[in-house]
Structure 1
Amino acid sequence: MATTTVTQAIVPEVMAELAALEDPKIRAVNERHGDDHGVNLTKLRGVAKNLKIQHELARDLWQTGDTAARLVALLISRPKLYSAAELDTMLREARVPKVHDWLVNYIVKKNPHVEELRVTWFADADPVVASAGWALTSDRVGKAPDGLDLPALLDLIEAEMKDAPVRLQWAMNECLAAIGIHHPDLRARALSIGERLEVLKDYPTPPGCTSPFAPIWINEIVRRQTLE
């Protein structure tokens, strides 16, 4: 209880520090991507670095509901200390894209309950929650595919990706690319699905970056791998 009281006392200090870093121009850019904060991420990481790992403080910062505070919370957490139930609740609260992405990549992927959560979220009726399940599945496609039914995943992608809500569509598209990149025996089918569905085909891609259109993405990464 004493530890919690101490960390709760620090929360206002952290919130004030983040408020001082608020930049209206950064907020305007972030809001176009669905993120409701205006703190430069390098500076935000600096705040987290100064705090160091403080898991109880992370929990208190998360409870504020503030996006910048939640991002700091994820950076000062101990991923293995969260229960599956806590992470499920946190994901359903994390409607902001950046918080959602950091939670999945920085915390859930390092948590012992990751596979349990992957399976649960993959089948969830909420497309934002389901997108997390697909993101974790993409990770397994590349790192630990044994036990995954990859042809069945391609069947689902082929049937559902075209009309899926945006966040879920992006996650399914990532899985399609991962299958095409990491599994040569399924590459032709992955490329065919991407070409036929044309999801993200016209997505504006900055110079020097790889298009998220799956056929271009797959071919470019495979080309780089052959040069290594």
Structure 2
Amino acid sequence: MRLSGSPDMPPISYAINDEKQVGIGFEFVRTIIPKEITVEVAKPAPMQRVMQWARDGHIDMFVGLQSDDYPEDWFTVLHPAITDSAYAVFYRRGKRVMNINKLYGLRGAILRDMSLKPDPALNLEIDNLQLLHTDSIAKAIQLVKLKRIDYFIAPQWQTINTWFESGKTVPLAMLPEPIQINHVYLALSNFSPCLDHKASIELEIEKAKRSGVMEALLEQSFLYTKAIDQFYNLIESP
């Protein structure tokens, strides 16, 4: 079974160099498939290319898809979701954004492959926000550093890890309440022979969720531990 995923989604899926991609999403897959099946993780590639690989059968499974709202002829999304991903607002510490309403009139950014569907309770009017599109979290942080944007919206785990690994070159802060919660899925290529085992794989996902496999993998992840350690430091005092 050949796997791939986003190179910028730690700890689920991420690239540690140009040749190797790792993450607890791949470890989760190894726990739910029969041990006699060999798992191979493809080399890192941009997100859009990996999605194309899943569409044309170059890989059997996409690990870490953050939506199930794709055309059925692209690939087959497996249910239930393996975990969730919270998206938050990050900004330069000292800007005193401090609440959602203050985003109006400021310049922001979102990831290019991100679909922004905020919690209705936030009453956030997306059409009234000034949002650029950026290819990665690292580039979003750089845009904040250059003062080309005032804030960006991105997944919490990935952003905290990317910021930490960059040496905290920008004094970031984060709004405490997430903008939205995305479910994180596995998806099978419609051209993969693994598609014949869709029902049995979904049953194993359900069993793994009931037994807390993903929670255990998260607790063992060094990247997740670092993110938790930094989480409250990023929330700016009023």
TM over 0.5: no
Q: Identify the structure with the greater strand proportion.
A: 2
When you count helix as a share of all residues, which structure comes out higher? Answer: 1
TM-score tier by shorter-chain length is under 0.3
Task: Tell which has more relative contact order, 1 or 2 (C-alpha 8 A, sep 6+).
Answer: 2
Bigger radius of gyration: 1
